[in-house]
Amino acid sequence: MIRLQDVSIRLPGFSLAPLTLLVEEGEFFMLVGPSGAGKTMILEALAGLQPHEGEIFLDDRPISKLPPEKRNIALVYQDYALFPHLSVKENIHYPLRFSRSRDHRNHVEHLVALLRLEHLLHRFPGTLSGGEQQRVALARALGAKPRLLLLDEPLAALDPLFREEIQEYLRKLHEEEGFTILMVTHDFGEVLSLGERVAVLREGVLQQVGSVESVFRTPANREVATFVGMKNIFAASVHHNLALLEEGVEFVLASSEEDRSSCFVGIRPEHILLGNRPWEGTDAINAFSGVISSVVPRETALEITLESSRIRLTAHVLSSTFLDLGLRWGQQGWMFFKPEAVHLF
Amino acid sequence: MPPIAERNAAVQIEEFQGRSDYGAAFLFDTPRRDLFMTRTFCNRWFTLLMGSFLLIYILWPLTNMFLRADWGVVTASTMDREVLAALWRSIWTAAAATGVIALFGTPLAYFLTRKDFRGKAVLEAIIDIPIMVPHTVAGIAVLMVISPRAPLGAFLENMGLQPVNSSFGIVLACIFVSIPFYVNPLKDAFASISPRLERVSQTLGASRSYTFFHITLPLAKRGIYSGLIMSWARSVSEFGAVVIIAYHPMVAPTLIYDRFATFGLKYSSPIAVQLISISLVMFVLLRLLAVRGTGGKSREMQS
C-alpha cells in the first residue's frame, strides 16, 4: 500500500498542490489529466527522483528519505529508456545485478516468457519496434520485483496495433501476476479499459478521486466532466425535478433534488438519441428540435450537433442509424434524452 | 532527345536569358559558359573547391616535409640518443598530463552537464581560457605559481618534486593547456545521454556511482576517447608553455626548435618528420581504437 500525504512540488514554472492519495495493494490505479498537469513529476517523486515536500508511506513506513534504489518502486518512462549499449537480455537482467537469490532469477525468466521476449534476447534496443521496446522495459522494471510499478503514458508513443497488445499485457500483469500498478495517462479511454480507481489531476491540483465508474458517471466538476467526455455541459439552477437553463430551457431530472441556484448539468453524447420527427412515446423525456449543424466522424460513431436558438446539443450516433433516419446536414432533426441521463455537478 | 543533363542546361540557359535583373553576374557569365553552370554543377564544384583549399593547406606542407626529408639524416637521427629521449619524453608526459586531466575532468564535465546553477556559464568560460591565452603566457602564469619562490612551488620542492626544469614541470604545463580539449568533448557526450537512463537504473536498484560507471561512462565512451585523443595531441604538440617551464629536459618540440636555432633547417626537419610520424601513428591507432570500442553498438545508440 502506497500513501502520499500532502506531497507537493514547487519548481520554477510548475507547482503541484499538496496531494494526498492512497493506492491499495494489487490495485490498478490511474492518474489522469491533460499534459502539463504534473503527472510525470508525481511518478518521479514516488520513485525518489524528484525532491518534494510532504511524506510518502509504503506500508505505513515513511520512504521520502530513501534513495531510489532502496525504495523498491520501478518506473517505466514513456520513451522506455532502455540502455542502448546493453542487449535486451542485459537490460532485462540488470536488476539481477543487485540480487543474489535464485528465486529472483526464476522470476525474471518467468517474465521473459510471459512477455514473449525469448527471441529478442540477443538484439539491441535500437533494433526493436516500439511495442517490443515497451515489453522489454516492462520486463526490466518488473524484474526488480517492485512493490509498485509506475507507468508513464505507456501507450502514448505506440502505434494503435501495439497499443492493444501492450494493454493486454498490462491487464495480464495486473490480474494474473498481481502487480500493483500506478499508471499515468492523458487518455480517458485507457482509464476505462484498464483502471480500477482513478485520480484526475489538472494544473497540479487534484480534481477527483474514485472508482473509474463513479468518476465517469458523476464527475465532480466541469473540468472533470469535459475530461471524461461529457460534451453537453450547461450552467443551470435546480428547482425540484427541473434544471433551469438559460433561454428558458428546462431539463427534466430523474428525481426531485435540493434546490440549487448555480450548478452544472451534463449529458453524455452517447445518451442522446437522434430522431427525424417529434417524440411519440408517452414517458417523460427531454426533447429538443433544431437544425443539424455539423456531422463529424469519430472513432466508433458520428458526432452530430443540433442547434436551435435556445440550445446546442451534441450526440454520438451510429453511422447506420444516421443513414436509416435519412437525415442530412442542414436539415431539421430532434434530439431526446431520458431524465436519468442528466447529471448534476 | 538529348540526355537529361543537357536538356536541363538548355532550360537553364533559357531561364537565364529571359532575365534582365541579373545585374553584375550577367556581365561575365556568357551563355556559352553557362552550359556547364547548371545549378548543381556549379554548387558542387564551388563547394569542393572552397573546401579543399584548407585541406590542401594542411596536407601540402606536411607531405612536402616528408618528400623533401633527407632520409639519411632521418635514419641517422633515430640513433641519436637525445632525439629518442626527447620523443619518448613527449609521449609519456603528454600521456601523464592526459591521465591527470581525465581523472579530474571527467567528474567536472559530468557535473557541468547535469547540474544547473547560477554562474555555470562563468565556470564553462573558465575552462575555455587556456584555448585563448597565448601559450607562452600560460607557461609564465604556471611558472609564477610553481617556481620554488612561490608557496606552492616551495611546497612541491619540499615534497621532493622539482617543478621547474623537470619532466614534472612539463606535465604541469601540458595539463594547463590541454584541459579544455578533454572536458569539452566529454561535456557534449554526457549531454547526449538522457538523464532518464540514469534514473531508471537507480529505480532498478543501482546506486548513483554504480549507475555512473555502468551506464553513463560506457555511453560516453566515444566522447571520452575523443577527449583523450585531443588532449594527448594537444600536449604532445605543446611548445610555448613547456619551453618557459622546462627548456631542459627537452621534449621533441623543444629539441626541434633547439636544433633549428643552432644548426638550421637541415637538422631540425628530421626530428620534425619523426615526431609527426609518431603522432600520426598514435592518432590513427587511437582513432581506430575509439571506433572499435564504440563500433557495432554505437550504431544502435543512434535510434
pLDDT tens sequence across B132-153: 999 999 999 999 999 988 999 9
Confidence of residue B25 (pLDDT cuts 50, 70, 90): very low
DSSP-assigned letter for residue A282? S
Work out whether strand A28-32 and strand A197-202 pair parallel, antiparallel, or are unpaired: parallel
Chain A residues within 8 A of B194 when measuring between CB atoms: 79, 81
The shortest C-alpha distance from A71 to chain B (Å) reads 8
pLDDT at B37 over 80: no
A74 and B203 in contact by Cβ < 8 A?
A: yes
pLDDT band, residue B293 (cuts 50/70/90):
low
* Chosen from A46, A49, A50, A145 to mutate, greatest number of chain B CBs within 10 A: A49
| pLDDT, average across residues A245-265 | 83
Calculate mean pLDDT across residues A222-226. Answer: 84
CA atoms within 13 A on the CB side of A95: 32
Cα(A56)–Cα(A23) distance, integer angstroms: 11
**CB-closest option in A84, A124, A146 to B219:** A84
pLDDT at B287 over 90: no
A112-116, A117-121, A228-232, B36-40: the lowest-pLDDT one: B36-40
Kindly tell me if the per-residue pLDDT of B26 is higher than 50: no
Interface test with A, best of B203, B208, B212, B215 (most A CBs within 10 A): B203
Tell me what pLDDT residue A35 has: 74
pLDDT > 90? residue B200: yes
What does the DSSP 8-state code read for residue B237? T
Domains A2-223 and A269-344 share a fold: no
Residues near B233 by beta carbon (within 8 Å), at least 6 away in sequence? B94, B181, B279, B283
What CA dihedral angle connects B208, B210, B215 and B220, to 10 degrees? 90
**CA of B197: which chain A residue's CA is closest?**
A81
Q: Predicted ipTM?
A: 0.81
What's the angle, vertex CA A275, arms to CA A273 and CA A278, rounded to 5?
A: 115
Contact B218 A126 (CB under 8 A): no
User: How would you list the strands of the sheet with A332-337, edge to edge?
Assistant: A273-275, A332-337, A286-297, A302-307, A312-317
What proportions of chain B, in percent to the nearest 5, are helix, strand and coil?
Answer: 80, 0, 20
Would you state the CATH architecture of domain A269-344? Beta Barrel (2.40)
Is A139 within 8 Å of chain B by CB? no
| CB contact (8 A) between residue A74 and residue B204 | yes
d(CA A233, CA A237): 13
Q: Which of B204, B299, B302 sits opposite A95 (nearest CB)?
A: B204
* Least trusted range by pLDDT, from A178-187, A274-283, A286-295, B123-132: A274-283
Q: Which of B152, B140, B223 is nearest to B181 (CA)?
A: B223
Interface contact flag, A81 B219, Cβ < 8 Å = no
Contacts of A49 in chain B (CB under 8 A): 199, 202-203
Unique residue bearing C-alpha cell 546553477: B117
| Chain A neighbors of B189, CB-CB under 8 A | none
Residue of A nearest to B295 (CA): A85
Put simply, the answer to whether A48 touches B197 (Cβ < 8 Å) is: no
Strand partners, A232: A267
User: Which of B205, B301, B302 lies at the smallest CB-CB distance from A98?
Assistant: B205
Closest CA to A42 of A83, A11, A87: A11
pLDDT at B8 over 70: no
Tell me which of B210 and A59 has the higher pLDDT: B210
pLDDT confidence tier of residue B3, bands split at 50, 70 and 90: very low
Helices (H), chain A: 39-47, 88-92, 102-114, 130-143, 160-175, 188-194, 212-217, 222-227, 319-325
Is A132 touching B (CB cutoff 8 A)? no
Q: Where are the domains of chain B?
A: 4-59, 73-301
**CA-to-CA distance for A97 and A90, rounded, in angstroms?**
10
Q: Is 50 exceeded by the pLDDT of residue B247?
A: yes
CATH architecture entry for A2-223: 3-Layer(aba) Sandwich (3.40)
DSSP B214: I
Question: In terms of Cα–Cα distance, which of B169, B187, B80 is closest to B128?
Answer: B187
| A84 part of contact set with chain B, CB < 8 Å | yes
d(CA A294, CA A291): 9
**Does B20 contact A at CB distance below 8 Å?**
no
Interface test with A, best of B117, B198, B199, B204 (most A CBs within 10 A): B204
At A231, the pLDDT band (50, 70, 90 cuts) reads confident
DSSP 8-class letter at B213: I
* Cell numbers found for residue A229: 467526455
pLDDT at B300 > cutoff 70:
no
Instruction: Indicate the residue of A44, A69, A77 with minimum beta-carbon distance to B205.
Output: A69
Domain positions in chain A are: 2-223, 269-344
Residue (of A22, A63, A60, A31) closest to A45 by Cα position: A63
Those of residues 30-59 in A touching chain B at CB distance below 8 A are 44, 47-49
Instruction: Provide the 10 A C-beta neighbour count for residue B263.
Output: 10
Q: What is the dihedral angle through the alpha carbons of B189, B125, B254, B86, rounded to the nearest 10 degrees?
A: -30
Q: How far apart are the CA of B234 and the nearest CA of chain A, in angstroms? A: 30
Domain B73-301 listed as CATH 1.10.3720.10: yes
Q: In whole numbers, what is the pLDDT of chain B averaged over residues?
A: 83
Strands of A14-23's sheet, edge to edge?
Answer: A14-23, A2-11, A53-58, A61-62
B48 vs B290 pLDDT, higher one: B48
Please give the C-alpha separations between residue A183 and each of A92, A122, A158, A171, in angstroms, as whole numbers: 21, 29, 16, 12
Out of A69, A141, A143, closest to residue B202 by CB = A69
Cβ distance B203 to A47 less than 8 Å, yes or no, reads yes
* Top-confidence residue, A256 or B204: B204
Q: Calculate mean pLDDT across residues A98-102.
A: 85
| H/E element, A244 | strand A242-244
Query: Residue A284: what pLDDT?
Result: 65
Contact of B290 with B244, CB cutoff 8 Å:
no
